Structure 1
Amino acid sequence: MSSPSTPEQPWPVRTVARKIAEWIDRLGAVWVEGQLAQVTARAGTGTAFLVLRDPAADVSLQLTAPIGLVRDGGAAVAEGNRVIVHGKPSFFYGRGTLSLRVDEIRAVGIGELLARIERLRKLLAAEGLFDPALKRRPPFLPHCIGLITGRASAAEHDVVSNATARWPSVRFRIEHTATQGALAVPQLVDALGVLDRDPDVDVIVLARGGGSAEDLLPFSDETLCRAVAACRTPVVSAIGHEPDTPLVDHVADVRCSTPTEAGRRLVPDLAEETARIATLRDRARRALAGWVDREQRLLTALRARPVLADPLRMLDARGEDVTRLREAARASVLRGLDRRGSDLEHVRARLTTLGPAATLARGYAVVQRLPATGGDAIDPAAPLPVLRAVTEVGDGDRVRIRVADGAVTAVIGTGAPKKTRAKKASTP
């Protein structure tokens, strides 16, 4: 039977069971720590059957022990107690079950438990799970409160009754679990996950009444502490009495010394809030009235100012300024026109004095030589040269003589020498 099994040559069940039993039998004895979940010691039998459970995981192991060993253990070998057992793994050939055949059972003392809790506390503190910066403030008025507690427990009554007395419309979602013993930690972790996933739950409360250090051990379990630290919803711890401080108190966002205090801190007091609202409303009313009075006085003072009392006063003053400036502008323009008119008259008189007409009026004449056309007609458009010297005309030339009141035409006489004529012409 040492040959490997094949589909054509499979091993019988007895062979497989025997090989497993032989392999397990080669294992040595071990010390195991756990929590007793079940103890069965029937009278008249020589073997007692026990279930040893891991408090931090959903794992258990079957134990078998002599009936005398269990009876001699007394109260230490009872369900819910933590123990250390020494035994050797064995495989029961007939049923195919694995068990641990123990020959010694020791109860874990309270001193050792407290020492282990202290070591765990230091470990969690070093990891930062107790850091105050990680604590979250529960909402002022939660929409729904998740409560994890024992069924029909005094802690549930204290939390619900006190919260309802302070705020009658408060809502709860309650998850009942074991709060001590081997099943407490798994149930607490499961309930915590259920409430944390509920979007309506705004805060989660872990509540339990007082008890011995062994009874409160589940609330110092590492698995539960890490589950509380991983929650996205704020967690309130209300375990035991004031002296009781399990590790979950340090991990939770808020610690309450008792479930009664938790019920009071979860919701505000309706009477106090109503009185506070009334006080705030009265303060707001007085503040608003004072503000209105202050603004009214300010408006009255502004209205009493000259500008607002007679708004047209400034316009009238500016209108008078415009009228005055307009009259000044008109007077300035008229004076300018008068000066320009006087200057024009002076220039006109000067031009008249210096003009040819005035010269002609004093007895002078303008002599112009007429063209030799052979006729008496003169083209008025043709320019006539002005005679400036006697040498410019000869005998028989026609000239036009312009005097003050008109012009005459003359013919230069003949027979007289030019010089003589020139002398006669220069005689006035």
Structure 2
Amino acid sequence: MAAKSSPEQPLPLRSVLQMVAQWIGRLGTVWAEGQITELSARGGTVFLTLRDPVANVSARVMCPRGVYEATAPRPVDGARVVMRLKPDFYVTRGSFAFTALEIRPVGIGELLARLERLRQLLAAEGLFNAERKRRLPFLPRTVGLICGRDSAAERDVLENARRRWPAVRFTVEQVAVQGPYAVGEVTEALRKLDADPEVDVIIIARGGGSLEDLLPFSDESLVRAVAACRTPVVSAIGHEQDTPLLDLVADVRASTPTDAAKKVVPDVGEQLALIRQLRDRGRRVLTGLIDRESAWLAAVRSRPSLADPVREIDRRLEQVDALRERARRCLAAHLDRAADSLEHLRARLVALSPAATLQRGYAIVQRPSGEVVRLAADVAPGEELSVRFADDRIRAITVPDPPR
């Protein structure tokens, strides 16, 4: 095309658009999945916008009325469908659009299977792990609330929260909670509240609905946005039996919007009752401690050592005197027994002493070496001996016996 045109020989615009239409026409048909929005019918043609449920991408689609009416059930705004599309470029208007050749609604079973695959993927990434969930503050300064416009969920949360704690403050973000714009508006409100330093907890609330109505709260982009929040998030979507993926990634799951208000805001009556109970318990504990210490002090004061200290000294003095007298008696008895024993020993010694024998007129004959002579035959003639008497001794020389 560039080779056949120049500033001197430009191509007519109709020719350029015809070439574009021919090039687009060679693309053929394609099956695409999306969500229907802006549905309208004029004459024999149904006009709609097919939106990607994850990315912010959409395209215009024209559908012959016969194709649209042949689809059972007929698609409505917000429906998830699979279409066989043929790209067309309209030369007269210079615009691009798809022509729908066949429409197939996405069934509940297929939706559930896709949600299950997405749940397994996010669980494998750890987005549902309990350790990453944060505890809610005891009394938040400001509660961020994301809900539908003039919805019953908003009234339930506000009324129950203010009934429990009248001073609680809310920052409410009203958004679309179903349909093609729900994911984008909820995500934007979530980011806005998460960036507000005054907001300590965020509640995402919506009433009950069908699986298709609650699909925005299982959207992957919204789930990842909740996981990335620094502020704790409470999910209050639908009823007890409804479990969108938002419930799994949120820090706290509430079964209903009313339950979310009870989980986020403490009951002032319950807290006052708890304070009274704790105060009474503290008073009882303190009174019991004082009573025990008083009883112990009274018992200590009643002891004789403190009631009459001098009496204890006198008692100890009496014990010392008694022990001293006992020691004196014991010592005197020991001395008397020792004196008697000494006297007995002395008498025995005197009785057994050779001196007593010498006093009776006997003498002891000894050699100069001190050896006692016991037999006369042991003495040789001329041998010098010592004769010991009781008071003195004499020296003697033996002479032989005269012949007979």
Contact 2:183 2:216 survives alignment (8 Å): yes
1:73 match: secondary structure: coil
Moved more, 31-40 or 287-296: 287-296
The CA deviation at 1:145 is: 0.8
Aligned to 1:61: 59
- Mapping 1:275-294, distance limit 5 Å: 275-294=273-292
Aligned to 2:45: 47
Aligned to 2:176: 178
2:183 match: secondary structure: helix
Aligned to 1:221: 219
Q: 1:300 and 1:16, CA in 2 relative to 1: closer, same or farther beyond 3 A? A: farther
The CA deviation at 1:22 is: 2.6
Q: 1:302 and 1:127, CA in 2 relative to 1: closer, same or farther beyond 3 A? A: same
The CA deviation at 1:46 is: 2.9
1:64 match: secondary structure: strand
Q: 1:308 and 1:215, CA in 2 relative to 1: closer, same or farther beyond 3 A? A: same
Aligned to 2:233: 235
Provide the aligned length of Structure 1 versus Structure 2: 311
Where structure 2 has 5 or more consecutive residues not aligned to the other structure, the ranges are 314-404
- Mapping 1:198-217, distance limit 5 Å: 198-217=196-215
Larger radius of gyration: 1
Q: Counterpart amino acid of 2:232?
A: P
Distance of 1:175 and 1:269 partners within structure 2: 24
Q: Counterpart amino acid of 2:93?
A: R
Distance of 2:230 and 2:242 partners within structure 1: 25
Aligned to 1:156: 154
The CA deviation at 1:163 is: 1.1
Aligned to 1:25: 25
Q: Counterpart amino acid of 1:41?
A: A
Asked if 1:127 corresponds to 2:130, the answer is no
Q: Deviations over 1:301-356 (max 9, x none)?
A: 67778699989x99xxxxxxxxxxxxxxxxxxxxxxxxxxxxxxxxxxxxxxxxxx
The CA deviation at 1:92 is: 1.6
The CA deviation at 1:8 is: 7.1
Q: 1:8 and 1:118, CA in 2 relative to 1: closer, same or farther beyond 3 A? A: same
Asked if 1:190 corresponds to 2:203, the answer is no
The CA deviation at 1:19 is: 3.5
Contact 1:25 1:90 survives alignment (8 Å): yes
1:214 match: secondary structure: coil
Asked if 1:37 corresponds to 2:42, the answer is no
Identity level (%): 57
- Mapping 1:350-389, distance limit 5 Å: none
Q: Counterpart amino acid of 1:225?
A: V
Under a length normalisation based on structure 1, what TM-score does the superposition of the two structures give?
0.67
Contact 1:57 1:186 survives alignment (8 Å): no
The CA deviation at 1:67 is: 1.9
Q: 1:6 and 1:278, CA in 2 relative to 1: closer, same or farther beyond 3 A? A: farther
Q: Counterpart amino acid of 1:38?
A: E
Contact 1:219 1:248 survives alignment (8 Å): yes
Contact 1:48 1:70 survives alignment (8 Å): yes
Aligned to 2:112: 114
The CA deviation at 1:71 is: 2.7
Where structure 1 has 5 or more consecutive residues not aligned to the other structure, the ranges are 315-428
Distance of 2:155 and 2:308 partners within structure 1: 73
The CA deviation at 1:137 is: 1.0
Contact 1:303 1:309 survives alignment (8 Å): no
Distance of 2:100 and 2:41 partners within structure 1: 14
Aligned to 2:259: 261
Q: Counterpart amino acid of 1:115?
A: A
Q: Counterpart amino acid of 2:41?
A: A
Q: 1:4 and 1:277, CA in 2 relative to 1: closer, same or farther beyond 3 A? A: farther
**CA RMSD between the two structures:** 2.6
Q: 1:16 and 1:296, CA in 2 relative to 1: closer, same or farther beyond 3 A? A: farther
Distance of 2:135 and 2:284 partners within structure 1: 33
Q: 1:68 and 1:288, CA in 2 relative to 1: closer, same or farther beyond 3 A? A: same
Contact 2:68 2:74 survives alignment (8 Å): no
Q: Deviations over 1:391-416 (max 9, x none)?
A: xxxxxxxxxxxxxxxxxxxxxxxxxx
Distance of 2:309 and 2:10 partners within structure 1: 120
Q: 1:214 and 1:310, CA in 2 relative to 1: closer, same or farther beyond 3 A? A: same
Moved more, 5-14 or 108-117: 5-14
Contact 1:206 1:238 survives alignment (8 Å): yes
Q: Deviations over 1:61-113 (max 9, x none)?
A: 10011122223336432111111110111112222221111110111111111
Contact 1:206 1:235 survives alignment (8 Å): yes
Contact 1:229 1:252 survives alignment (8 Å): yes
The CA deviation at 1:47 is: 2.5
